Structure formats: C-alpha cells, structure tokens
Amino acid sequence: MEKFIISGGNKLKGDILISGAKNAAVAIIPAAILADSPCILENVPNINDVTVDLQILSEMGAEVKVLNKNTIQIDAKHIRDTAVPYEMARSIRASYYFLGTLLTKFNHAKVSMPGGCALGDRPIDQHLKCFKALGSNYSIEHGMVEITADKLIGTQIYFDKITVGATINAMLAAVKVDGLTILENAAKEPHIVDLANFLNSMGADIMGAGTDVIKIRGVKKLKGTHYTIIPDQIEAGTYMVAAAATGGDVTIRNVIPKHLEPISSKLSKMGVIIEERDDSVRIVGKDEPYERMNLKTMPHPGFPTDMQPQFAALLTLAGGTSIITESIYEDRFRYVDELRRMGADISVDGKVAVIEGVEKLTGAPVKAADLRAGAALIIAGLSAKGSTEIEDIYHIERGYENMAGKLRAVGADIVKRKFPGPDAIRMAL
C-alpha cells in the first residue's frame, strides 16, 4: 500500500507546469478510434485513467504507440471487438465513452456500467436517452450495457439535466449519423469544446460546443489528425488553492486563464492576489486568514464541483463561517470526516457544508475517499502543523500527473512511501 507523507508548513514558491486535461483526454482517446487513419495526441496527461483507456484500446486491437511521456499515436484500423473488457471498463467512469464511439463505428457496443468516484447516485439515463433517440436499442444485463442499431438517424435531443458525460456521448454517437442532430441543454465545460475541436480536426461538422445548443451534421468519413489536448483547469485550480493555503507565491504555467475564471474570481474575493498572463497565472497568498466565502457548485461556467473539496480545505482556515452547497452530486462531502481529524470545524447537512474557520490544522493519518477529496487532504496537509499521512492515494493518481513531484519542486515536503498492506500484516502475524 502506498501513502503520501506530508510535513506541513512550507510556503510553496516557484513554477508549476500543468498537464493535459484528464476529462478531455478520457473523451478524446476513445474518439480517436473513429478515424480511418492514425491519430497523434499531444499533451496527454500521464495518469492512471489514461493508462486504463489506452489498455482498453490495445485489448480491443488498436495499435497504441507511446511516442513520449505525453504523446500517443493511436491506429484503430484493426479494431474488430465491439465489447470493452469488463474489469477495465468498470474501473473508470469514462469507459462509457466507448458506448458512443463503438456504436458509431460498428452500430454495436457492449461496455460495463461505469465506475469512477463514489459521489452518490450517478445514473446514465441521459446517455441511454440519446442512444435511443438516435435510433438504437439497448439492454442492461449482468452489469453490461449493450447497444445495437440498424441505422442511426439525426434527431433533436433535449437533456433533462445538464450532464457532461451524456453531452460527450451524444456527440460521439451522432458525429457520423446521416442528417442533423441538435443537442439542447448541453453541458458547456472546456473539455466538451476540446472534444468538438478534436472531432472537427478529423473532418466532423460540429457547431455550438461551449453553448447549450450543439449542432452535429453527420459526415461519412473521419481522418486521422494531430491534436494537442487543452491544459487541465482542475489541476491548475488545485495548485492555485495549494499556493494560497500555504501563503506561497506560485506561477502556474500552461493554462488557459479563461477556463480558470470561476476559480480565480472566488480566490480573489477571498483575498488571494492573482496575476493573469497569456498562458500562466501567478498566485500570491498571505499568512493572515482569508475572507470567509459562500460557494455553490454549478455546471460550467459556474463554480466547478471538481474544485469543491479543495476550496473546503482552504476555507477551514478562513476568518468566519463559510457555506458550501454541492448542487451537482448527492454525496461529495466524504472528505469532511478526514478534515475533522486534522482539526477542521465542519458540519454537513445533506448537500450543504458549514465551515467555521479555525486557527490551524494539525497533521493526522487520513484516507482519500476519491480523486478530489484526496487533493483536498494534500492541501490541508501542506498547510497543517506536523505530519499528515494520506492512504488510498491511488484515487489521486487516477487524475493528477506526478503531483508529489510537482509540489516538491515548489518546496513542499511530500514523499510517497510503500507500506505493508493489511494482507502482509496478517501474513506476518
């Protein structure tokens, strides 16, 4: 079992380079199988979710070449299999993008129900609604979703709720469908625009991505392309909060400032100094407590739910009472118990967390419940007095490339250590 060990109190100072966006990469990699010649993807984040995605492609017969740490070549012409290996597919959320791509490529797809972070109920009814509206049938048996279609037809689809995944899956399923498909009440996250740009660079005809109406005119062929994935705005936001929490002075490089607006505006309001440049932001924190803040998570361009735990960690030390409302997920406060172990004063009632700022946090042994909860614990550990041990760090490594290395480079005292797991201890008894 591996843990992060953090000795808190160091101010972060220096530069951090942001990797490619996880939530764009896990949509673009499956989409690459729609090209009838090889695709080269640059700025691919070196994270476990991407590794699983590439393993799925290889298992299905695609040729995957790692040209360097962050550049991948995918040639899908030999893919024959329309079923995704069960265990791999259920280990990540984004495996469900193979439903849309395989349906487009073969008129058939068989993928396990998705896995991913445990954030409460995460149905896929809107995905299935899209596939059915386009003319396919589906069944869910033995944990597998199977979709078949004789012929897909362009149509109008209104999402009952704003969903990133279903918006992406609808684009993937409609991109080669005869006629016009219109998606209404679509999600507008930066990674949706990135996927649309990727597909259009292959020859697709998608307009309106980034707005709530996306129009997709089906095309006959999609050719291979050479594409660079956008920087990860959530990774950038995480390090912005870490810099603020330690009262540091950090320049975050390789960002698109516009994608960070919902995050930067909240940090500025709390009293963090933010200097924006073309492709970087400088964060200057302070030692005295930040302003308290109320946050409500919303679909983009609102405040992102994927930054909610990280801000909670920062607000535990703010001056006064802060309120966080989580409007996207049923249960995204599983990190609260762990922050309480470090001295945080937080009470949770349903989708609302009330945070009373405290003087300091103290290091403690804690567990990462999911990807962003783990990031919140790292932020808390960096600002706490004493040592923090974080368990279950595989959650964190699903979505952050070399997080400990990037933090050490700006002065954090954080190391990854191997410990005997419960089995090894039992064996030794």
Q: Point out which residues bind ligand EPZ (CB under 6 A).
A: 22-23, 26, 93-94, 117, 121-127, 161, 163-166, 187, 189, 305-306, 328-329, 371-372, 399
In angstroms, what is the minimal distance from the CB of 238 to ligand EPZ? 10
In angstroms, what is the minimal distance from the CB of 47 to ligand EPZ? 10
Rounded Cα distance, 296 and 186, in Å: 20
Does the active-site annotation cover 39? no
Question: Residue 418: enclosing H or E segment and its boundaries?
Answer: strand 413-418
In angstroms, what is the minimal distance from the CB of 278 to ligand EPZ? 26
Residue with the shortest CB distance to ligand EPZ: 165
Question: Residue 100: enclosing H or E segment and its boundaries?
Answer: helix 97-106
Q: Which residue's CB is nearer to ligand EPZ, number 138 or number 329?
A: 329
Which residues have C-beta within 8 Å of that of residue 290, sequence separation ≥ 6?
A: 244, 270, 271, 272, 314, 315, 317, 318, 319
Q: Which residue's CB is nearer to ligand EPZ, number 101 or number 251?
A: 101
Which of the following is catalytic: 26, 62, 72, 117?
A: 117
Q: Which residue's CB is nearer to ligand EPZ, number 318 or number 375?
A: 375
Q: Which residue's CB is nearer to ligand EPZ, number 21 or number 364?
A: 21
Residue written as token pair 């302003």: 291
CA-based nearest residue to 95, from 121, 108, 114: 114
In angstroms, what is the minimal distance from the CB of 370 to ligand EPZ? 7
CA-based nearest residue to 256, from 221, 281, 293: 281
In angstroms, what is the minimal distance from the CB of 7 to ligand EPZ? 27
Q: Which residue's CB is nearer to ligand EPZ, number 5 or number 128?
A: 128
C-alpha distances in angstroms, 361 versus 4, 191, 251, 370, 379?
A: 17, 35, 25, 21, 11
C-alpha distances in angstroms, 165 versus 50, 85, 98?
A: 16, 20, 11
CA-based nearest residue to 365, from 392, 347, 345, 383: 392
Q: Which residues are catalytic?
A: 117
